[in-house]
Amino acid sequence: MRTIHGCFRECARDRPASVAVRQGNQSMTYAALDTWSDRIAGCLRDRGVRPGHLVPVLLDRSITLVAVLLGILKNGAAYAALDASWPEDYLADLLRRLRGPLLVADRRYPDHPTWVASSPLPADVAVPVADGSGQDPCCVFFSSGTTGEPKGAVVPHDGTVRLLRGASFAALGPGTAMPQAAPLPWDGFTLELWGMLVTGGTALLLEQVPLTPSRLRRCVTRGATLAWTTTSIFNLLVEEDIDCFAGLGQVLVGGERLSPPHIRRFLARHPGIRLTNGYGPVEATVFVATHDIGPDDPGNEQGIPIGRALPDTDLLVLDDDDAACAEGQVGELCIAGPRLALGYLGGVSGGFTAPRAATGPRRLYRTGDLVVRQRDVLHFAGRKDRQVKVRGHRVEPAHVEATAMRLPGMRRCAVVAVTRQGGRLALALFYSAGEQGRLSPLDVGRHLRRSLPEYAVPQYLRRVSGFPLTASGKLDERALTALLEPEGAAGRGRGGAPADPATELEHLVASVMASVLGVERVPEGAGLHALGASSLDLIRGCMRMEREFGLTAPAELPRGDCDIRELAAAIARAQQTLPGSGREAARPRQAPLSPVAASFVAQQEIMPDDTSALCPMRWHIRGPVDASALELALRDVWIRHESLRAACRLTPEPVAVPGPVGLDEPALTLVADAASLDDACRRLEAWLYREPGRLLRGRAWDAALVRIGTGEQAPPGHVLGIVVHHACFDGWSANVFAQEVTLAYNARRGGRAPAFQVPAPALADLA
């Protein structure tokens, strides 16, 4: 078999009942997916899709998307999976350049002939599918270009089939399962999806991306055996929850230079998991070299090796005259062989050339990467040009500059790569404008976000009066970078009066994001993007809130330069929804009540003043109490546990429904001082036992603090009293509750958020 769809059909014939794709609770066998994609292929053929066409696709990550891509390939056409979150102008330009016979999407687009993927399909369609040639186009991947417009690499079937069939760098085949989390327009999508479907494995489509610790853990419980992640996401997972990799047999990582400290931590924690560095440009489909990382690699002074060439790939290290470099000599890495892309869409110029030397392959791709070969192993040594990798995305600064120069009033601009806290790479754009062009950084940011994908928008925007030069007359990038304010210094507000955080959730989000950005506090009213926060920083913040407070991350992060209030609102909405196919589903998360819990609720409804179903707890605290820190600690635990903010009902069925964070948050009531310990307990009981039924209406607990007087017969101190309804609580819960309140209180007294060791179970998990 020489094509993706040909290999898939072979797997469907040999393993018809095996699960091909799974997403959440939905799954589809190879046989069913083969039949469904046949019917889609027939519909597309009837609408003019023919061999050689390039068909753009605008669909969410779903099983439907997989069937559509197979249907396109079965017609001998190639697909271009685009991202609906890209700016409209950017998408319109790509659609124009693809010149497809139609657009496949989830809705109609007035300016383009569209086939809606949810349209009815014929019951039975016979689709004659020729296997075709391995050099036929199968897909188009877009990356940043130096000319101001993205380059579309047209990739042949050979690039994928030769990489994945019989791969030595990973155990692919029947019995394997892999999360599909890479962005759809990336070549990493090829590895995660077709790596399973052309070898007989199972692709686990994430309902939400990116790959966070909780999502990776869920994939492992669903059978994941290996995972691929970019360097940025890998570092994030190692820093935030290194144990989330447990249960995997292999982790593939790449896209950027690896961080030795993160690699060292991973190897120490997971010595039994195979860790593989994968290197390759999109022009050669995913990987051209791999290296299984060993314990000695993090100490290598040249960095983690990118490895040895894969089969069907020739890796040449050439000097400026295209002569082969000797071992230890730095040269440009050039790629030859049948896995190379066919070229760029529309004949755009790029790195595909014939070698200048008389001997050697007839066609090369010049990567622009500088490498050195040591004992037949390649090490990365830098770039020949200005291209940079930002969070795994390839960005040409010239592309960003050309886009910025289209803005009226822009006189000159320069994009510079800067290193942020923790060694992360970010982009900064410095610009000057004419006297008549009053361009603020806000104006420039809006223009760029309308024209570029989010990852290509610089995180720092600075207007300058001039551009410093070196002694040789070149742009002095170091001097420009020095003009940046210290990271975290007062950010640029977005207009209007600054607003204090209005809810405890906003305070929590502000505290976590300050920690992520390495600043003392997030300035009031400041946009997070203006402070240098990338989408990866927002993801990191959501991961910490998920781990420490049990808060579900939003399916979609706010776009543009959001502030704390907007991010908190997105997180609050996520607490009230269930994840769908990459989108929020507008239905409450609820869990069935057990028969015992339902009986407690029924008893309370029959006898509203009955207190027998309440679980009281009292602690005598000797010495002073920081009431503010204690109240914050109680809220930390309340936010973390859905059962503590649940409303219980019996009709139409007995269920518990967690309330959203930010509404009816618990307060620590300070009851009047008591003269003695016994008096304090009586005061607490009177306060906590009032109207017992209130504890079933959305907040299952209440808390109060009484200070004991300093009389001769009274030991000094306080009594903390808490009451929780038995429908949501039991004796085992009391120990967990006490431990977590103690941990949170000690953290809040120290001015920091608590670091809970394990995620809190959701109500549905408890049920």
**How confident is the model over 514-531, as pLDDT tens digits?**
878 777 778 766 778 767
CA-wise closest residue to 737 among 661, 634, 664, 666: 634
Half-sphere exposure at residue 243, Cβ-oriented, CA atoms within 13 angstroms = 4
Question: Can you read off the two tokens belonging to residue 268?
Answer: 């120490």
Residue with tokens 């070969």: 373
- Residue whose pair of structure tokens reads 């209440």 in the numeric block: 702
Rounded to the nearest integer, the mean pLDDT of the chain is 83
- Please tell me the predicted confidence (pLDDT) of residue 423: 62
> What would the pLDDT profile of 523-565 be if each residue is shown by its tens digit?
766 778 767 777 778 888 888 887 767 677 787 777 666 888 8
What is the total residue count of the chain? 767
Q: Assess whether the previous peptide bond of 156 is cis (omega < 30° from 0).
A: no
pLDDT at position 419 over 50: yes
Residue 41: Cβ within 10 Å count: 26
Output the six-digit token pair for 648. Answer: 């219980």
What tokens were used for 761?
A: 């179970």
pLDDT of 289 higher than 90: yes
How confident is the model at residue 582, as a pLDDT?
Answer: 34
**What residue type is 534 in one-letter code?**
S
Bridge partner list, 722: 617, 703
In terms of Cα–Cα distance, which of 66, 77, 65, 53 is closest to 202?
66
**pTM of the prediction?**
0.68
Nearest partner of 501 among 516, 522, 518, judged by Cα: 522
Q: Given this model, what pLDDT does residue 737 score?
A: 86
Confidence bin at 163 (pLDDT 50/70/90): very high
Q: Which pLDDT band holds residue 30 (cuts at 50, 70, 90)?
A: very high
Residues 236 and 239: their CA atoms lie apart, in Å, by 5
Q: What is the pLDDT of residues 646-688, one digit of tens each?
A: 777 777 778 777 665 544 556 677 777 888 888 888 888 887 7
Confidence at residue 417, expressed as pLDDT on a 0 to 100 scale: 87
What whole-number percentage of the chain has pLDDT above 70? 85
Model confidence over 695-733: pLDDT tens digits?
666 666 778 888 887 555 555 788 898 888 787 777 778
Place of tokens 């950010």: 491
Model confidence at 320: pLDDT above 70: yes
- Residues paired with residue 55 on neighbouring β-strands, in sequence order: 79
Strand bridging mode 202-205 / 19-23: parallel
* Largest interatomic CA distance in the chain: 102
Question: Could you tell me the sign of the dihedral formed by the alpha carbons of 450, 452, 457, 461, in that order?
Answer: negative
Task: Report the C-alpha gap between 543 and 114 in whole angstroms.
Answer: 37
Compute the distance between CA of residue 459 and CA of residue 445 in angstroms, rounded to an integer: 9
Residue with token string 């949501």 = 728
User: DSSP assignment of 429-443, as one string?
Assistant: EEEEE-TT----HHH
Burial class of residue 150, CB neighbours in 10 A (0-12, 13-18, 19+): buried
pLDDT for res 72: 96
Of 377, 380, 350, the closest CA to residue 365 belongs to: 350
Predicted pLDDT of residue 560: 63
